[in-house]
């Protein structure tokens, strides 16, 4: 394979649930070690179903600095140089911050892999509790926040995270991603009010000595920006709405948000490439290509849930990485960022961490495409 001539920012999402140190997780995972409980109890749902899968690193506490030091070294050695932490806020306080605060931020080598935050501002239902996850209509926590609470969140983020020397920036500005735009706009009262909140957020970042803020949107599809019922008085195309809100870039979180994933990995890649091109041509802000490693959320359920990406082997994933690298190379004016789902989404069947099925295969695929160790 031709050696890469650029340095790439390969960013993997982190699901920070593999720790039992957050008391509120006990309602979902009562044994006290987070969603490892679900991983351990996962069973095959049909003949040939590739579960249970076991992590080669064990069911380790990812809020332990020494565990994260090992994982940071493994990531950096294979070309993953950014972690995107899923970040949560419910009932006027943070949720699942321990993996970041006590693991990554206390790791002595965290300069090797930068980090940024994706506000995973979705409502919480029974999904995380496999005992009752087949009944997901029960709302536990609502994610929408009003302007006053938004300001509390923003100031805390700036002080606690954005000024950290390992925080990932584009053009010197800390990157902050929003997962569910609908929930954000609903809580803040509309597109105009959300744009005003973003303007205030940027001003606060500047007041803290930062050159600004890079706001990133997690797209659920190039043609999908459903704000109906939230801002009924506003009519705008998705591109116009994103421009009005003042986002600086977009990427995706998962293939399952925009294409049929119940098929072979190779068969869905043409749709993925088409989505990348549509994002590029339909919006006035940069799009950063996204690669998902798989999808199978059956570990979270007692009954079978259809919708599984098949044959997502390291060889197929490597081909997807090559395509993402080509997209980045074709957009030299943009930051060389690629997002990956994910570092550790074991219960969704999408992870880079080594397992008993492919070993280090996925990490080796990253290394072969994005990292030149031979100089």
Is there a contact between 350 and 300 (Cβ–Cβ < 8 Å)?
A: no
Query: Is 255 within 8 Å of 221 (Cβ atoms)?
Result: no
| Parallel, antiparallel or unpaired: strands 290-292 and 337-341 | parallel
Question: In the structure, how many helices (H) and strands (E) does the chain have?
Answer: 10, 10
Res. 375: pLDDT tops 50: no
pLDDT of residue 5: 66
Q: What is the pLDDT of residues 288-303, one digit of tens each?
A: 999 999 999 999 999 9
At 20 the three-state DSSP class reads coil
Q: What is the pLDDT of residues 212-225, one digit of tens each?
A: 999 999 999 887 76
Scanning 42-101, the segments in alpha helix (DSSP H) are: 65-77, 98
Q: For residue 234, what pLDDT is reported?
A: 56
At residue 170, the 3 state secondary structure works out as: strand
Number of other CB atoms surrounding residue 267 within 10 Å: 12
Instruction: Return the closest-CA partner of residue 142 out of 111, 183, 82.
Output: 183
Strands 214-219 and 249-252: parallel
44 has a pLDDT exceeding 70 = yes
Q: Domain ranges in the chain?
A: 9-370
| pLDDT for 174 | 98
C-alpha–C-alpha distance, residues 175 and 157, integer Å: 11
CA atoms within 13 A on the CB side of 291: 30
pLDDT confidence bin for 237, thresholds 50/70/90: confident
Q: State whether the Cα torsion 224-255-187-159 is positive or negative.
A: negative
| 56: pLDDT strictly greater than 60 | yes
Note the pLDDT tens digit of each residue in 175-228. Answer: 999 999 999 999 999 999 999 999 999 999 999 999 999 999 999 988 776 565
State pTM to two decimals.
Answer: 0.96
Please calculate the CA angle 236-255-369 and round it to the nearest 5 degrees: 120
> Distance (Å, rounded) from C-alpha 73 to C-alpha 65?
12
pLDDT at 224: 73
First and final C-alpha spacing in the chain: 14
Q: pLDDT class for 137, splitting at 50, 70, 90?
A: confident
Tokens for 208, please give them.
């803290």
Higher-confidence residue of 65 and 22: namely 65
Distance (Å, whole) CA 97 – CA 39: 20
CATH of domain 9-370: 3.20.20.80
How much is the mean pLDDT over the chain? 94
Inter-residue contact 249 to 170 (CB < 8 Å): yes
């Amino acid at each position: 394979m031709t050696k890469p001539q650029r340095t790439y920012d390969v960013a993997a999402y982190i699901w920070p649930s593999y720790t039992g140190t957050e008391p509120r997780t006990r309602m979902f995972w009562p044994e006290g070690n987070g969603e490892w409980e679900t991983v351990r109890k996962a069973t095959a749902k049909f003949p040939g179903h590739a579960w249970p899968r076991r992590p080669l690193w064990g069911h380790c506490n990812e809020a332990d600095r020494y565990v994260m030091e090992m994982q940071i070294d493994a990531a950096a050695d294979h070309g993953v140089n950014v972690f995107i932490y899923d970040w949560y806020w419910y009932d006027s306080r943070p949720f699942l911050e321990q993996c970041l605060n006590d693991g990554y931020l206390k790791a002595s080598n965290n300069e090797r892999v930068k980090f940024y935050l994706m506000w995973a501002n979705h409502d919480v239902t029974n999904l995380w509790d496999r005992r009752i996850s087949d009944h997901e209509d029960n709302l536990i926590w609502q994610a929408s926040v009003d302007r006053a609470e938004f300001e509390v969140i923003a100031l805390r983020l700036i002080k606690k995270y954005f000024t950290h020397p390992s925080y990932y920036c584009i053009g010197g500005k800390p990157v902050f991603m929003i997962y569910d735009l609908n929930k954000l706009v609903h809580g803040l009262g509309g597109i105009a009010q959300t744009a005003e909140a973003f303007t205030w957020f940027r001003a606060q970042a500047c007041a803290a000595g930062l050159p600004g803020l890079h706001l990133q949107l997690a797209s659920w599809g190039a043609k999908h920006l459903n704000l109906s019922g939230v801002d009924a008085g506003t009519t705008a195309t998705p591109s116009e709405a994103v421009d009005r809100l003042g986002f600086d870039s977009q990427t995706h979180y998962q293939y399952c948000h925009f294409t049929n994933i119940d098929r072979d990995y190779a068969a869905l890649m043409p749709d993925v490439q088409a989505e990348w091109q549509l994002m590029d041509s339909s919006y006035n802000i940069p799009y950063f290509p996204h690669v998902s490693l798989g999808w199978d959320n059956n570990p979270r359920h007692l009954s079978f849930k259809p919708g599984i990406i098949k044959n997502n082997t390291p060889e197929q994933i490597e081909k997807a990485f090559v395509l993402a690298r080509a997209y980045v190379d074709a957009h030299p004016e943009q930051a060389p960022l690629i997002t990956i789902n994910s570092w550790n989404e074991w219960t969704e069947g999408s992870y880079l961490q080594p397992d008993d099925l492919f070993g280090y295969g996925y990490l080796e695929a990253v290394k072969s495409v994005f990292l030149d160790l031979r100089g």
